[in-house]
Amino acid sequence: MFYPNYLRIFRMPFIYAQLLMAVFLRPFASKSQDTVSLYSGKIPNARPGYFKNPPAKASAGMVYFVNNPILEIYLPEKSTATGAAVIICPGGSYKVLTYQAEGVRTAMELSKRGIAAFVLKYRLPDDSLMIDKKTGPLQDAQQAIKIVREHAAAWGLDGKKVGIMGFSAGGHLAATAATHFKTALIENENHTDLRPAFLILVYPVISMQQELTHADSRRNLLGPTPSKETVDYFSNELQVNQETPPTYITHAGDDKLVDVDNSIVFYERLRHANVATELHIFPKGGHGFVLGQRPEEWMPPIFKWMAKNGMINP
């Protein structure tokens, strides 16, 4: 039977059909808000019957209870595209996702600058959904990197310029993806490189050590009584080496929720490992300072850093 080109995609494997539909529909979308599910079949680490639970919920720009992780795609205009891409991990103490303010607004500003942005709606640690809740978010981050890199050509990207960005607990997830990329927690039959090309952290949780961590993020991810081995594994300052990607970090010195020492300790570890890194500490702003600012107020230094590191044109 003959199928018009725009219908033939439905006879292709699930993920490829989604990707082609994203490209096909983009000219008709007002804000490039196309989505791709991370997994076409069974979701790894999911408990039986996870889809019987209610789908992701949203309220006042926040998202919670994610059982089907997705990427929301914001592609730049072809005339301004740089080939660079950023996967965005919103924060929320591993309990909710500050999806609109940290995810969507950031993605729209990146796309204005010619950078493709992918907002990651990742699974939040939940014993009712996951066999091992502490690895669920990292699996989703790795799968996001894999999808974007494997389909870079379809989106007009340079596969060597796919980075990851995270806010608060999402910063912990992004840093975990950047320091644990050698161990694939997902199916990776093509041996796709899971190392982000660069890392951008905004008031991040870095450590799970008791004296430094954000208590709620640690408890939500690791549970109430994690072992020392688990705490050390998810303390990203202890996982830095020379292969950790170039990193940009920004934090407010008066952050009362996530101590700025998280960023300082990570910066020092990166510096001593000879990783190209840059740290910006604002004297005031508190935690979540981007929520009260327009993106153009706090993002320009990021674009300058990306240009200096060859990810975008100056």
Q: Is 211 left (phi over 0), alpha (psi -120 to 50) or beta?
A: alpha
Q: How far apart are CA 190 and CA 196, in angstroms?
A: 17
Q: How far apart are CA 173 and CA 119, in angstroms?
A: 13
Give 32-75 pLDDT, tens digit per residue: 559 999 998 889 999 987 665 555 667 779 998 898 899 999 99
Which pTM does this prediction carry?
A: 0.89
Q: Which residues contact 76 (CB under 8 A, 6 or more apart)?
A: 82, 110, 111, 112, 113, 114, 115, 116
Tell me what the mean pLDDT of segment 219-244 comes to. 99
Least confident of 19-23, 93-97, 170-174, 243-247: 19-23
Give 100-159 pLDDT, tens digit per residue: 999 999 999 999 999 999 999 999 999 999 999 999 999 999 999 999 999 999 999 999
Q: What are the two backbone dihedrals, phi and then psi, of residue 296, each rounded to the nearest 5 degrees?
A: -70, -10
CA 280, distance to chain mean position in Å, is: 20
Q: Which comes out higher in pLDDT, residue 277 or 29?
A: 277
Q: What are the two backbone dihedrals, phi and then psi, of residue 262, each rounded to the nearest 5 degrees?
A: -55, -50
Could you tell me the pLDDT band of residue 31, with boundaries at 50, 70 and 90? Answer: low
Domain-by-domain residue ranges, the chain? 5-308
DSSP states of 164-184: EEEETHHHHHHHHHHHSTTS-
Report whether pLDDT(292) > 60.
yes
* pLDDT (0 to 100) of residue 193: 98
5-308 belongs to CATH 2.60.40.10: no
